[in-house]
């Protein structure tokens, strides 16, 4: 994929091919409980894993807004595939904050490397000569079946004060996957399973302390791109919200086409002539448009912060996090309304609307995208009472 392919305009041949291919593989992804190999190959061919990789490693170093457009488009075909595509794009952005030696470990042979990450940990690291030993279990590790490297959060004993923690870069070969741990109703194809590590040695250069998220500062002639100076707390998760947005767009199009053909038996007319259905279509269009504007407003805010290499206040980060949650809430409301107006036919396994309905609620269940918890956190900070949520990032 070259830098000009995304965003893809409506009707673009590549976009149509990708969406059609993902839609055709979605049922198999649900059956497997992970993405089929062909789906991952397509995502890599589209350049999702290299989209935010620094150019010096052969990456595209694209603006985040371009990645959001790509994820949004892919979700029309399969939200599980779009979810993994979002994370395969975001996680290299995190790796770009690690020391140069760690980046070389991953990208020296090329930038198309799927990376999975989890901060949902029951884990402990022990300092040893040259690094740490790492043991524990991490839940919700999306895409782990196809990952070549893992980013895993863990803490270790500190000298005094709060115990330090950070991300550990671990080869997938040094971890084990519990393949029975992902039996769920929505986003089945993401394969967000439990991953375990027992006593793995992690050299110091593969550890990023949470208190030092700023990108490695350049030597003499090499400048750090503003992309990697964007605040972590405001940047991560935007691509996941784009999954919900694309799913809502897909549901809108399915409903619009179906209402032209579906006959309401008790009214003896096509649904397209039903005023109630017309209103639901309009309500969805407004929610989708509002969600897109809010998502890209948040994206632009973090882009501007990266341009000036500035941290955002705790209140600003909390506000961006509640923006992301509200985007997902708008999309869930939109799909709920369409699903409720689609009759019993929407319950059929062959109808993709039921999968979009299940998937968008799985997106909403993600801790970083849950409306109630993010809204409370922002409200508490806004009135001076401090945060109600803890994050591993500083800004």
Domain boundaries, the chain: 13-113, 115-212, 229-382
CA 165 to CA 157: how far, in whole Å?
A: 9
Q: Mind listing the pLDDT tens digit for each residue in 129-151?
A: 999 999 999 999 999 999 999 99
The SS3 assignment for 351 reads coil
pLDDT given for residue 259 in this prediction: 84
C-alpha triplet 7, 23, 340: angle, nearest 5°: 100
CA 215 to CA 349: how far, in whole Å?
A: 46
pLDDT given for residue 262 in this prediction: 81
Cβ neighbours around 58 below 10 Å, total: 15
* Confidence bin at 346 (pLDDT 50/70/90): confident
State yes or no: pLDDT of 57 exceeds 60.
yes
pLDDT given for residue 223 in this prediction: 55
C-alpha triplet 229, 314, 367: angle, nearest 5°: 90
CA 139 to CA 196: how far, in whole Å?
A: 9
State yes or no: pLDDT of 266 exceeds 80.
no
Do 13-113 and 229-382 come out as alike in CATH topology? no
State yes or no: pLDDT of 345 exceeds 90.
no
Question: Please, what is the average pLDDT of the chain?
Answer: 90
CA 210 to chain centre: 20
State yes or no: pLDDT of 8 exceeds 50.
no
Classify residue 145 by its DSSP letter: T
Among the four given CATH numbers 3.30.70.920, 2.40.110.10, 2.40.50.100, 1.10.260.40, the one describing domain 115-212: 2.40.110.10
188 touches 182 (CB < 8 A): yes
Architecture of the domain defined by 229-382: Up-down Bundle (1.20)
* Mean per-residue pLDDT, 50-77: 96
DSSP track, 188-250: GGG--EEEEEEEEEEEGGGEEEGGG-SPPPPPTT-PPPGGGGS-HHHHTTHHHHHHHHHHHHH
Instruction: Tell me whether residue 222 is exposed, middle or buried, using C-beta atoms within 10 angstroms of its C-beta: 0 to 12, 13 to 18, 19 or more.
Output: exposed
Q: Mind listing the pLDDT tens digit for each residue in 87-138?
A: 999 999 999 999 999 999 999 999 999 999 999 989 999 999 999 999 999 9
For residue 327, report the phi and psi dihedrals to the nearest 5 degrees.
-55, -50
State yes or no: pLDDT of 7 exceeds 50.
no
| Neighbouring C-alpha atoms within 13 Å toward the C-beta of 390 | 5
280 touches 335 (CB < 8 A): no
pLDDT given for residue 6 in this prediction: 39
Q: Which two tokens stand for residue 191?
A: 């394969």
pLDDT given for residue 312 in this prediction: 87
State yes or no: pLDDT of 380 exceeds 70.
yes
* Mean per-residue pLDDT, 44-62: 96
- Block residue for tokens 């767009």: 249
343 vs 201, more confident:
201
Q: Which two tokens stand for residue 336?
A: 């709920």
pLDDT given for residue 152 in this prediction: 98
pLDDT-wise least confident of 62-76, 214-228, 285-299: 214-228
DSSP track, 249-308: HHHHHHHHHHHTT-EETTTTEEGGG-HHHHHHHHHHHHHHHHHHHHHHHHHHHHHHHHHT
* Mean per-residue pLDDT, 213-231: 62
State yes or no: pLDDT of 214 exceeds 50.
no
CA 65 to CA 52: how far, in whole Å?
A: 11
Residues 6 or more apart whose Cβ sits within 8 Å of residue 383: none
**Residue whose C-alpha is closest to residue 324's, from 281, 286, 378, 285:** 378
State yes or no: pLDDT of 226 exceeds 90.
yes
346 touches 353 (CB < 8 A): yes
State yes or no: pLDDT of 268 exceeds 90.
no
Do the strands 131-141 and 115-118 form a parallel or antiparallel pair, or are they unpaired?
A: unpaired
- Block residue for tokens 């009472």: 385
Q: For the chain, how far is it from start to end, CA to CA, in angstroms? A: 32
* Mean per-residue pLDDT, 31-54: 96
State yes or no: pLDDT of 367 exceeds 50.
yes
145 vs 395, more confident:
145
* Mean per-residue pLDDT, 351-370: 96
> Taking the domain 13-113, which CATH number applies?
1.10.540.10
């Amino acid at each position: 994929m070259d830098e000009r392919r995304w965003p893809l305009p409506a009707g673009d041949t590549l976009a149509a091919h990708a969406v059609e291919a993902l839609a055709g593989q979605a049922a198999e992804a649900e059956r497997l409980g992970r993405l089929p190999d062909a789906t991952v190959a397509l995502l890599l061919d589209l350049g999702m894993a290299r989209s935010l990789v620094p150019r010096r490693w052969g990456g595209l170093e694209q603006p985040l807004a371009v990645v959001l457009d790509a994820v949004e488009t892919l979700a029309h075909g399969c939200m599980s595939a779009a979810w993994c595509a979002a994370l395969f794009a975001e996680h290299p952005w995190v790796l770009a904050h690690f020391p140069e030696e760690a980046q070389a470990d991953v990208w020296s042979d090329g930038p198309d490397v799927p990376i999975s990450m989890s901060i949902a940990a029951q884990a402990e690291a022990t300092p040893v000569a040259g690094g740490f030993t790492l043991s524990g279990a991490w839940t919700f590790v999306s895409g782990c079946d196809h990952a070549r490297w893992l980013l895993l959060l863990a803490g270790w004993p500190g000298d005094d004060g709060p115990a330090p923690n950070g991300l550990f870069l671990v080869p997938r070969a040094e971890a084990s996957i519990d393949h029975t741990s992902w039996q769920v109703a929505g986003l089945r194809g993401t394969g967000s399973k439990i991953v375990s590590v027992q006593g793995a040695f992690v050299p110091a250069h593969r550890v990023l302390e949470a208190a030092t998220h700023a990108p490695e500062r350049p030597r003499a002639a090499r400048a750090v791109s503003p992309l990697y100076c964007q605040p972590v707390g405001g940047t991560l998760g935007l691509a996941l919200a784009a999954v919900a947005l694309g799913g809502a767009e897909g549901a809108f199009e399915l409903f619009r086409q179906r209402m032209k053909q579906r006959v309401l038996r008790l009214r003896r007319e096509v649904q397209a002539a039903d005023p109630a259905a017309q209103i639901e279509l309009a309500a969805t269009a407004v929610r989708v448009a509002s969600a897109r504007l809010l998502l890209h407003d948040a994206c632009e805010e973090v882009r501007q912060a990266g341009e000036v290499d500035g941290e955002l206040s705790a209140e600003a980060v909390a506000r961006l996090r509640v923006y992301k949650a509200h985007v997902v809430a708008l999309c869930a409301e939109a799909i709920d309304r369409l699903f409720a107006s689609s009759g019993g036919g929407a319950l059929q396994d062959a109808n993709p609307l039921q999968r979009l309905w299940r998937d968008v609620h799985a997106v909403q269940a993600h801790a970083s995208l849950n409306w109630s918890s993010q809204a409370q956190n922002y409200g508490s900070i806004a009135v001076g009472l401090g945060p109600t949520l803890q994050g591993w990032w500083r800004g």
